[in-house]
Amino acid sequence: MTAARASACEAVLDRLRAAGIEQLRLSWADMHGTLRGKTVVGGSQAFAEALLGGVGLVSTLLLKDTADRTAFQVFDPTADAATRALFAATGAGGFGAANNVQLRPDPASCTVLPWADATAWLRCDPVWADGSPVQADPRGVLLRAVEALRGAGYGLRCGLEVEFHIHRITDAGLAAADAAWPAEPPTVALLHPGYALLSEAHADQCAEALAIVRRTALGLGLPLRSLEIELGPSQFEAVFAPTDALTAADQMILLRNGLRQALRRAGYHASFVCRPPLPFAVASGWHLHQSLVDGQGRNAMARDGAAGPGAAAAATDAGDARHSLSDAGAHWLAGLLAHAPGMAALCAPTIPAYSRYQGSVMAPQAVVWGRDNRGAMLRVIGTAADPATRIENRIGEPMANPYLAIAAQVWAGLDGLQRRLQPGPATETPYAGSAARLPASLREALDALAGDAVLQRGLGPVMGLVVDTVKRQEWARHAAAEDPAQWERREYFGRY
């Protein structure tokens, strides 16, 4: 506890008193980007104790799959190879017997929730009892990545472009007899019939739900730029102004958490699942726009006129990355390509996400880049000397943990910078040719991630082990399911 932190906590307490806050949610984002935590009640004294001392949280929440099943045998440290490896990496006190981690609130994150009366929220960092950071914390992975990039002289700006689905609930399915682990999702109806991209008529038809989205996003302080009608039935897209990588990841967590809660109160079911288990559903993507910035905050991906080796030739060859990108931008692009197979496991971490690579509308299929080409995995946008020059990575799904997904961009791009990798020529036919295909399944992507030394080093031994073990357990349960469609419906659509 520093003097600065104590002062910041006191300022938060003053703000909570002035706003008439009656309950305080302290939350941490788990491996799947779902907020976990506790709600503190009891007024100023309880709030002060929580702010200054944190709250305890069962450590197995860091080890759960998408159905809340713990993937390690924490009550038997020698039960299996994965559990032995976890305890060897974290020591006897780490995760033993479902012990506690402590959630340490960040006073700067204090937000009054726009949909919940007299309720405020704070983001927390998990630490062990001695104050040391928990190495299975996804946000910590991104913090380390950003620091490594800063050491190379750069920062990363990211713009979120997120597709999702909203349906009207016709039956919540909450009868006691319907309980299961996990439960069936609610029965839903469409808000619009789809197949009328950017239709103004459909926007008016969905005005009530979109108003909730708008008020919630802006009420949370998110830099929402536009709300759009997407191609699929009941599918939408939200576009946000760019910001630094860590803030963008924090905003993605707030967006998903806020929209699902606020819309549910009004009788809607919001889902960030890649492909809902409904007839004619169109897969959703998460398009991550990214640009390097130098120490003065300038776009380091934009090529400065004809400067730089080979730039004169590149200026006349649209297939050369340096037609639009600086040398640093070209190396970053090449790094993203080089690590795409392993990156897929972090950017598309669910089983249905891989159907999107098999022919969905304007979704990537191969490890290629193109100039303003929405069929390519990487879309380069901008021209020489354009300060808005950037790379759009179209590999992701909206259910991805944003901390891990963005950290993967940093480690891959940084490797491209350090090894001065070259991206090769742009594609004009992203769905043809002999380029390497993206992984066909989550298991294939996990195998690629396990073999990617750069991404494993970025995750660290504990986070790498947790990701691999949790997601392989998820895959094995799906493979053993008698009804895979029912499994996906319950596992993902009802919960995410």
For the chain, the domains span 3-134, 146-459
How does residue 359 score in pLDDT terms, banded at 50, 70 and 90?
A: confident
CA distance 378 to 368: 7
> Do the Cβ atoms of 394 and 285 come closer than 8 Å?
yes
> Is it the case that residue 307 has pLDDT exceeding 50?
no
> Is it the case that residue 70 has pLDDT exceeding 80?
yes
CA distance 336 to 343: 8
Nearest of 74, 54, 75 to residue 62 by alpha carbon: 74
More confident residue, 389 or 174: 389
Q: Give the mean pLDDT of 47-66.
A: 94
CA distance 216 to 251: 12
Residue 222: what are its φ and ψ, rounded to 5°? -80, 140
Strands (E), 301-360: none
Q: Summarize pLDDT for 401-424 with one digit per residue, the tens.
A: 999 999 999 999 999 999 999 999
Tell me what pLDDT residue 308 has.
46
> Is it the case that residue 136 has pLDDT exceeding 80?
yes
Tell me what pLDDT residue 203 has.
94
Tell me what pLDDT residue 94 has.
83
More confident residue, 269 or 90: 269
How does residue 377 score in pLDDT terms, banded at 50, 70 and 90?
A: very high
Tell me what pLDDT residue 93 has.
72
Assigned token pair, 336: 């993203």
Q: Give the mean pLDDT of 460-468.
A: 97
> Is it the case that residue 315 has pLDDT exceeding 90?
no
Tell me what pLDDT residue 316 has.
54
Average pLDDT, the chain: 94
**CATH of 3-134 given 3.10.20.70, 3.40.710.10, 3.40.50.2300, 3.20.19.10:** 3.10.20.70
CA distance 51 to 6: 9
CA distance 450 to 278: 33
- Helix ranges, 159-276 (H): 200-205, 207-219, 245-265
Question: Percentage of the chain surpassing pLDDT 90?
Answer: 88
Tell me what pLDDT residue 252 has.
98
CA distance 411 to 343: 10
Q: Give the mean pLDDT of 436-441.
A: 97
CA distance 192 to 176: 31
CATH 3.30.590.10 assigned to domain 146-459? The reply is: yes
Contacts of 174 (CB under 8 A, 6+ apart): none
- DSSP-based helix, strand, coil % in the chain, nearest 5: 40, 20, 40
CA distance 434 to 208: 47
Q: Give the mean pLDDT of 235-240.
A: 98
CA distance 307 to 304: 6
Tell me what pLDDT residue 177 has.
84
Inter-axis angle of helices 340-347 and 461-480, to 10 degrees? 70
Q: Give the mean pLDDT of 89-118.
A: 91
Nearest of 287, 282, 278 to residue 494 by alpha carbon: 278
Q: Give the mean pLDDT of 232-251.
A: 98
> Is it the case that residue 354 has pLDDT exceeding 70?
yes
Residue 419: what are its φ and ψ, rounded to 5°? -100, 0
Q: Give the mean pLDDT of 81-92.
A: 89
Query: pTM score > 0.85 for this model?
Result: yes
> Is it the case that residue 313 has pLDDT exceeding 60?
no
